[in-house]
Structure 1
């Protein structure tokens, strides 16, 4: 059908009228939620119940007020027989809670058929309808410009032009949600069980980040109490990336989710120090966990502590040295957190004293027990055999004391690795230490040994291939009983300690049994660009399947010039890209950025930094482009990108796969692929 056909126009008119009805119902829902908050504040209930009710009502009202503007539905299902018809959107909309909804939430069980039904397995769906909205629509009903029906009940099965247009639409600004275009294999991952952890090995353009975010939204919808009780955490590689994805969950109706970086989660101190490559490698090595454990528990010692005498009026209650040593040894064998262990020793000493009192004079009072628990001799003995300690004290002593380090690292680290760890200029005390980023990981490890941190109900970890074993342990401590969604691509690992296999990463994350699912079909990166990246993939030391793309459009261009002509060639490439729709990302080795910027400035081409979302042209260092996408990418001097770091070829693979429409490679030196 074309837009001039009467049947199509009548269908569009009916759907626009339905959208108007939905807009009115949503406005009433927002107003009603505000009224419920007022009523809830006056409700007669206990203080605790009123507080819980008030929090829920205020949260619901806030979430409705903060919904992103946009179309209220993107699809519809017409079921066989008397099954009825449902519109599918980003949230449930109804005129009255007891009436059938005008729009069903995409996460509801009944909506799954929209993503999974096919001509081979129609799942009682007679017709699947998709709606085409004007790009950038803020929800005006007149922006509904087209629709297409797929008659699954009649065996019709065809590719959707509306889905293709949505996927290929020029990308300016932050990442969009993909609720309207989720593919069946992505839907399986999104709707996975809360109790199961999953690892997604996703080739470029396969939507692994979007899958992780939509899985978070699905879990919040399906298990609201369980998730919110423990909390949900989104971990990204850097702030630029988090800014890029920040609007996805609010667009899906979920606000208040913590989105953070691992560095922010462990920021006990500002990073003021740096490590050389050898020191950083050792600090991120899994063996450091045992070194730190030994260093901490080396402080627990009973030798020479003697017996204990606790005054009680004119009498002294005594606990022999052998019994005290046995108490400490028993607690050590139980392996509780260090801080818990100290209090457990205290409790067992008090229990031993109480038993002596009971045999002599009968059960003591609770006041007596509390007094003995805090008695000076008991505290002094604890300080001698199981002293209080801060993580900073343990790490600073380890990194400044050659003998302390040798004792803790015996049989684990060789002499060269121990020398690499020692601070060249030891601080006067831990309070004046210049902590490095890797030191903060060590501090978090010790802090976790002293007291377990509160865990999240679910954690989504993106770009997980770049995590070190010690960083994985940071995350594992925050999800000891919760589940993980681990996202990454081994081919895009760029840190010195980047993973070579997912089972190793999952073991360090504390989820060795998590399933690894591969996504190899790309929807965003054009076939020509994927083909070029696959040529480079053959040179990388990882075992991952080559990607393939469903997009036959897009463009790949090579612009060769003399080495000193690269900046001018970049200017020409940017001008060509500006002649078409979409964002332009100019990506260069970090050291080359100044001369590229100078050339762009001289040509009058304004280029924003990577953090300025929505800019038409962005100049991006290769070191931070991971996870970002641009319609047109100008990759500057691939040889320089590859040579800039030890895993430079992996970094180049990342750079080449950021383009979603057009990639132009500008080079004055031979290409490294």
Structure 2
């Protein structure tokens, strides 16, 4: 039975702190119990699998002293058959006592949904929602919102002062605002305590549903996608534990930035990769050359899939000679026209090249067996298998249906231009390698090799794939991701206004089609997030000046932050010196500092920062060294996408935009860069600002 709420807020706070102590004690007990279990699976393999399962379970039960095990509480109205109202604590994972009764409810459980979605208009059975203020893993304050009976009297109370605050997420919750605006140092944090109703609907979408989320900067689309993965693993664990969940991001620095989110939610088995590494792993190749943007764009077009299919299957048949199989004292003959019928039938089945080729062996052997039966013999299945493996059949199949490798097929296309349209001839090699093994593959080539590998042998499908920054992938890259969810679902995240590649997405309908999904299907949905919780209004409004030029059809983002943030636009005579000074000033504020510069300026700015004693780390796309105590990060403009910092210094916007191949792409790159700030943005420029940004901030 829940204790009555004390009238003294300090006594109430002490009761909540005591519940946290109890929850931590029970979690430690659960982990000790797991570690005490013996991994006896009956045999060595089963035992090893069980030991791995127990280890993962124990790891998921580790307590993080920097956070609380719960961040909210809901008190449910007592129903007609209930003697008392029900009180539930909502946290990152389930914690139970020794009798199995819940001490903390996992945020992903169905009974936790009202914590995120209830309102005074629809209380969803709640009388009260409580949020906790947390510092250093301890509860320091609480804030109540009355939703059911007595909702008009709803108030929030800070237990440290006894004062009153806001009344919930939608009406200015001070605790919620502090959590959203809390300074950020280190990797991305989970948003499990601050998920908003529109975000929660996306997070809890069914496992069979593919969601495409168009999200403006700061709307939390990346965090929403990761939390959806965590929710799916909770709600459909048996299914997804077998089929797997994958997160695909734009670069390794981004993956390191977001890599702590799922483990903080108790999910440590999800693999993270980049779109480039996804196909490298499938082809056992590596990038050994670069090529022009135009060639890369041509290789990334969807029609290349048809070119590769034609090149691969073009080597099959026709059958011009009969198959002759000696067996004992007789020779068995399969006419060429029968073989050709088999080939045409197998080509039309829609199976992979290698699977169809293996079937041809059995088709030919069956034809021989039928001929034997007609002559009065009684062959069985063992005879058919023997004929299928015989040298004459193998040799015949090799002639009419050759065994090939992806590299050989692609090398033929790029060497001869066969099957290419006239405007695609720019991708043909000027100096073909002597052998496919000696080819120097580009990043775009690896995607084509992955396509060929799938044509040869179908790529296994995962249960769910989260694809972030999807607007930047080429059609062929999207196909590579999509086939890894051919029987599963996807969470596709991105922003058309942030497309910065020459092949960036023109529409989400087109992207989903390349991913193998269709917006006309009832299991595929497009959602739009426009309410920004990360980027303050002063910053997002300044950056949104670019939207009419880069994405006129998108709704402008709306910041719901209570703090408008800080924006300083500073003209200087010496851009590098101005950036160093701005960085020094930004570092006086709390939290992380991102110094985003044109790629070509990285070395000179890094030298200048070191020369003035500013300790910093470089985020270069390959890794992000987020060392202890380091608050300043030097970031090239092309790597900034997906990252966030409390304070951001942007150096020379015009140079950032001019480094791109065209004006629209340049302004989109600038839009990305300008929207990385969580608290304050300083723009330093010696050159005139782009026209869209000129004028008073």
Partner of 2:444: 438
Partner of 2:96: 94
Distance in structure 2 (CA, Å) of the matches to 1:315 and 1:166: 84
Q: Is 2:221 aligned against 1:208? A: yes
Shift of 1:58: 4.0
Alignment of 1:602-617 (within 5 A): 602-610=611-619, 611-613=624-626, 615-617=630-632
Shift of 1:515: 1.1
Q: 1:662 aligns with which of 680, 684, 693?
A: 680
Partner of 1:11: 12
**SS across alignment from 2:491:** strand
Partner of 2:107: 106
* Kept in 1: contact 2:56–2:268 (CA 8 A): no
Distance in structure 1 (CA, Å) of the matches to 2:564 and 2:660: 33
Mean CA deviation greater in 517-526 or 605-614: 605-614
Distance in structure 1 (CA, Å) of the matches to 2:686 and 2:295: 36
Q: 1:622 aligns with which of 611, 634, 637?
A: 637
Q: 1:269 to 1:66 in 2, by over 3 A?
A: farther
How many residues are treated as equivalent by the alignment?
A: 646
* Kept in 2: contact 1:68–1:251 (CA 8 A): no
Q: 1:299 aligns with which of 315, 321, 324?
A: 315
Shift of 1:613: 2.2
Alignment of 1:183-582 (within 5 A): 183-267=196-280, 268-304=284-320, 306-401=321-416, 405-406=417-418, 408-409=419-420, 413-414=421-422, 416-418=423-425, 420-513=426-519, 514-541=524-551, 543-551=553-561, 552-562=563-573, 565-582=574-591
Distance in structure 2 (CA, Å) of the matches to 1:112 and 1:446: 44
* Kept in 2: contact 1:308–1:378 (CA 8 A): yes
Partner of 2:158: none
Shift of 1:606: 2.1
For residues 487-546 of structure 1, what are the alpha-carbon distances to aligned partners after superposition, in whole Å with 9 as ceiling and x for unaligned? 000000011100121000001001112211100000010101111111011111452111
Report the aligned-residue RMSD. 1.7
Q: 1:318 to 1:180 in 2, by over 3 A?
A: same
Partner of 1:637: 652
* Kept in 2: contact 1:231–1:458 (CA 8 A): yes
Partner of 1:78: 75
* Kept in 2: contact 1:68–1:250 (CA 8 A): no
Shift of 1:446: 0.6
Q: 1:443 to 1:162 in 2, by over 3 A?
A: same
Shift of 1:6: 7.6
TM-score for the superposition, normalised by structure 2: 0.90
Unaligned runs of 5+ in 2: 1-5, 79-83, 155-166, 693-697
Unaligned runs of 5+ in 1: none
* Kept in 2: contact 1:492–1:654 (CA 8 A): yes
For residues 630-671 of structure 1, what are the alpha-carbon distances to aligned partners after superposition, in whole Å with 9 as ceiling and x for unaligned? 111111000000000121111000000000100010001111
Shift of 1:50: 6.0
Q: 1:512 to 1:18 in 2, by over 3 A?
A: same
Shift of 1:598: 2.3
Partner of 1:601: 610
TM-score for the superposition, normalised by structure 1: 0.93
* Kept in 2: contact 1:66–1:250 (CA 8 A): no
**SS across alignment from 2:485:** coil
* Kept in 2: contact 1:300–1:386 (CA 8 A): yes
Mean CA deviation greater in 63-72 or 83-92: 63-72
For residues 394-439 of structure 1, what are the alpha-carbon distances to aligned partners after superposition, in whole Å with 9 as ceiling and x for unaligned? 00111112xxx24x12xxx22x421x11112221111111110000
**SS across alignment from 2:669:** helix
* Kept in 2: contact 1:427–1:433 (CA 8 A): yes
Q: 1:648 aligns with which of 652, 656, 666?
A: 666
* Kept in 2: contact 1:308–1:319 (CA 8 A): yes
Q: Is 2:624 aligned against 1:587? A: no
Q: 2:57 aligns with which of 52, 60, 67?
A: 60
**SS across alignment from 1:74:** strand
Shift of 1:355: 1.1
Shift of 1:48: 7.7
**SS across alignment from 1:664:** strand
